A and B are shown apart, each in its own frame.
Chain A
Amino acid sequence: MNDIFQGLSQAMRLVLAFDPGLVEITLRSLHVTVTATLIASAIGLPLGAWIAVNRFRLRRYAIAVLNALMGLPPVVVGLFVYVILSRAGPLGVLGLLFTPTAMIIAQVIIITPIIASISHQAIRELWADYHDLLISLHASRSQRIGTLIWDGRRALMTAALAGFGRAIGEVGAIMIVGGNIDHATRVLTTAIALETGKGDFALALALGFVLIALAIAVNLALHILSGTERGSRW
């Protein structure tokens, strides 16, 4: 228990002092995960909507595979990206291994199925309501998807935030492809793993509290900016 209180007070001290090391790894965590979430959303949201409004052979299997991919083990994704990006691998000439870009690629692979799967679920329910209306208006396929994405934007934001949440706390994949290099690829989660390895539990917990606070802050900021959960509406 003592470690937890020490961790809390150390977290306070680090945040209040605006510790430069902490600011650096926090911004890098945000950089990697926000970029990954944006890319994954750009792929996952339309993909989820497309699967919801289209009927095609193997649709059932596509949905099952998508849902299963939500459970992809990050370590395996990390190893896969590592092997691809290694100098000995097919994309080795790009020299991307152990850079933030490699970390973003790994996170995109991890969270795209989550975003696509949740958005598919949300759009499917909306589609059931809108189906007759949109058909009678002779809306084209892309117009239908556009309408559904816009009117389902709050549910889709939840999908993107679920992806963000998974990525910001992820350590297995980015440890492998990023390498936890100080001042280059060290982020909050890999720093926590490092401090745990050194037996400095208080500092590791302090960084953990900062990570949780960061996730809450990002979620709150998005909800405030998008005007959801206002008092006047349910």
Chain B
Amino acid sequence: MTLKTLLATVSAIWLATTAGAEEMKMAVTTSFANSGLAEILLPQIEKDTGITVELLVVGTGQALKLGAAGDVDAVLVHARAAEEKFIADGNATHRREIMYNDFIVVGPSGDPAGAKAATKATEAFASIAEAKAPFVSRGDDSGTHKAELAIWDAAGVNPEGDWYKAVGQGMGAALNTAAGMNAYIFADRASWLNFGNKGDLALLFEGDPALFNQYAYLPVNPEKHPHVKADAAKALEVWLTSDTAKGLIEGYTIAGQQLFTFNAQPM
């Protein structure tokens, strides 16, 4: 490439940053983005509605914060109690359930704590705490972190001590830490299946209804933030609850496993 063509290309990119169709920003959780479903849904959304959805991938806590500040037009998260508080604070007009997936317990394939034998999620957690086996927690106020804490609570265990390591990072970084330390970790199935650095880790516990992980869509309240693209957010909600979305969401598989179950109700 000569200098001239390089300069021409660079200046084209310079100017092209704001061109294009209608754009809206949506904050989503790392577990949703890591699943790879976004790459399936976004191109189809653009085709059907003309809206380019820009994703900000953060934890549920930060996603709701972005929505409350009006920095995004909608959020797609999975932490019911926090979502209801978000609506009560006037940050969103309503909450619409879209789909669910499930959480799993991953750990060293040798399973020193015997979590595999548990029949309930709380039992699996209690056995890990009893064995004081290393456990990596997200510790970042995300939806997955909140779900993990709820299970510790239900198991009657106060997770403290050297064995409990809160890394304060996203799902991927936490899985990397767990793989490096050969520790137990609470993860969502999608992130786990898509994760490329499994090491000696294996899926040890799954299937308890308590591990149900509901995703909900919350458009940011245009009365509080007049600049938000409420029309685009509405169009996206209609699309996300449509049969097209259902087909794509339920048809998405990794290693032959269906990850998400669509459960949006017609309004």
Residues of chain A touching chain B, judged by Cβ–Cβ distance below 8 Å, are 27-28, 30-31, 34-35, 86-88, 92, 95, 97-100, 179-184, 194, 196-201
Q: How far is the CB of B92 from chain A (nearest CB, A)?
A: 15
- Tier of interface size on chain B: 20 to 34
Q: CB-CB contacts of B165-192 with A at 8 A, as 1s and 0s?
A: 0000011110110010000000000000
C-alpha gap A94/B195 in the complex (Å) = 38
- Find chain B residues with CB under 8 A from A183 CB: 52, 54
Residues of chain B touching chain A, judged by Cβ–Cβ distance below 8 Å, are 9-10, 13-14, 17, 23, 25, 30, 34, 52, 54-57, 69-71, 170-173, 175-176, 179, 194-198, 225, 227
C-alpha gap A31/B70 in the complex (Å) = 27
- What are the 4 tightest A-B residue pairs by CB atom distance, in nearest-first order? A197-B172, A199-B197, A87-B70, A199-B196
Interface of chain A: mostly helix, strand, loop or mixed: loop
CB closest residue in chain B, given A179 = B56
- Find chain B residues with CB under 8 A from A28 CB: 13
Interface of chain B: mostly helix, strand, loop or mixed: mixed
Whether A31 contacts B196 by the Cβ 8 Å rule is no
- Find chain B residues with CB under 8 A from A95 CB: 227
Whether A197 contacts B30 by the Cβ 8 Å rule is yes
6 A-B pairs within 8 Å (CB atoms) are namely A27-B10, A87-B225, A88-B71, A181-B55, A197-B34, A199-B197
- Find chain A residues with CB under 8 A from B55 CB: 181-182
Whether B57 contacts A27 by the Cβ 8 Å rule is no
C-alpha gap A183/B46 in the complex (Å) = 13
Q: How far is the CB of B173 from chain A (nearest CB, A)?
A: 5
Known: A87-B70, A196-B173, A197-B171. A98 touches B56 (CB 8 A): yes
* 8 further contact pairs, Cβ within 8 A, besides A181-B56, A197-B170: A27-B10, A34-B10, A98-B56, A100-B17, A179-B57, A184-B17, A197-B173, A199-B176
- Find chain A residues with CB under 8 A from B17 CB: 31, 99-100, 184
Whether B69 contacts A30 by the Cβ 8 Å rule is no
Whether B196 contacts A97 by the Cβ 8 Å rule is no
C-alpha gap A198/B25 in the complex (Å) = 22
Whether A196 contacts B176 by the Cβ 8 Å rule is yes
Which one, B30, B71, B173, B196, contacts A86 given CB within 8 A? Answer: B71
CB closest residue in chain A, given B225 = A87
